[in-house]
């Protein structure tokens, strides 16, 4: 049985400042034509990272010192706009495993949970302190701990908040519904055979 429990994420952070960053900024709509999610890690903040000739512009996601960051530090109402799963998918496939912000759009936060990405909140004062500390020292290591509900580094810390059912889903490893179904194939088959509208299917 696989262990999909997510209790703690530790690593460097990357800062994307600003309120109301919507999903179209996170991944422009034209990249939704991808048949699978596999290549989406190429596209986070694409139009802010590249000009019309595809030359790199200054951006945290282009900064060589940030390429191994695992934790994204954002501000208020991150992930607002259209409810596209591609937004957290693109961030995760780029390398982001946890997001810390002042607040999130509700559907974006839920989409993060279904991918196993903790989207946790801290106060406005604390997120600004976290961002400032990270910009001062890009090698600063942060830990998002769902067990003791903290975000911390050697420079700053705070209590994190997220809906309790989201936290439990991650800590108990229940976020990966596909793996749960595959690991319980016999039970799924038994239930399927008991359902009156499927028991005679194909006979």
128: pLDDT strictly greater than 90? yes
130: pLDDT strictly greater than 90? yes
Higher pLDDT, 58 or 173: 58
33: pLDDT strictly greater than 90? no
Strand partners, 56: 50
Per-residue three-class SS string for 113-157: HHCCCCEEECCHHHHHHHHHHHHHCCCCEEEEECCCCEEECCCCE
Secondary structure class of 27 (helix, strand, coil): coil
The pLDDT assigned to 192 comes to: 63
CA distances from 179 to 35, 134, 145 (A): 22, 35, 23
For 54, the token pair is 């595809």
The pLDDT assigned to 191 comes to: 66
- For the four alpha carbons of 151, 156, 158 and 162, in that order, the dihedral sign comes to negative
Digit-coded pLDDT (tens) for 60-77: 999 999 999 999 999 999
Mean pLDDT throughout 103-126?
96
Rg (alpha carbons) of the chain, rounded to whole number: 19
Digit-coded pLDDT (tens) for 167-186: 999 999 886 655 554 555 66
Cβ contact 14:139 at 8 Å? no
Domains and CATH numbers, the chain: 8-172 (3.20.19.10), 174-203 (no CATH)
The pLDDT assigned to 29 comes to: 93
188: pLDDT strictly greater than 90? no
Mean pLDDT throughout 45-58?
97
The secondary structure of residue 50, as a DSSP letter, is B
Cβ contact 27:84 at 8 Å? yes
Angle of CA points 138, 31, 33, to nearest 5°: 150
For 86, the token pair is 């591609």
Secondary structure class of 13 (helix, strand, coil): strand
For 39, the token pair is 């290549």
- pLDDT > 70: percent of the chain: 86
């Amino acid at each position: 049985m696989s262990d999909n429990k997510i209790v703690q994420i530790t690593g460097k952070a990357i800062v994307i400042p600003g309120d109301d960053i919507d999903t179209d900024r996170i991944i422009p709509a034209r990249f939704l034509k991808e048949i699978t999610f596999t290549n989406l890690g190429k596209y986070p903040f694409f139009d802010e990272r590249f000009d019309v000739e595809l030359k790199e512009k200054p951006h945290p996601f282009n900064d060589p010192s940030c390429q191994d960051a695992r934790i994204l530090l954002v501000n208020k109402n991150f992930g607002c706009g259209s409810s596209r799963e591609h937004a957290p998918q693109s961030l995760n496939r780029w390398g982001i495993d946890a997001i810390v912000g002042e607040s999130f759009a509700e559907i974006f936060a839920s989409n993060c949970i279904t991918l196993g990405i903790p989207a946790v909140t801290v106060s406005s004062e604390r997120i600004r302190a976290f961002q400032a500390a990270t910009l001062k020292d890009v090698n600063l290591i942060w830990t998002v701990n769902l067990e003791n509900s903290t975000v911390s580094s050697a420079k700053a810390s705070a209590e994190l908040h997220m809906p309790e059912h989201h936290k439990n889903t991650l800590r108990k490893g229940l976020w990966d519904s596909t793996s749960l179904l595959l690991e319980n194939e016999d039970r799924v088959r038994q239930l399927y055979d008991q359902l009156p509208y499927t028991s005679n299917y194909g006979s």
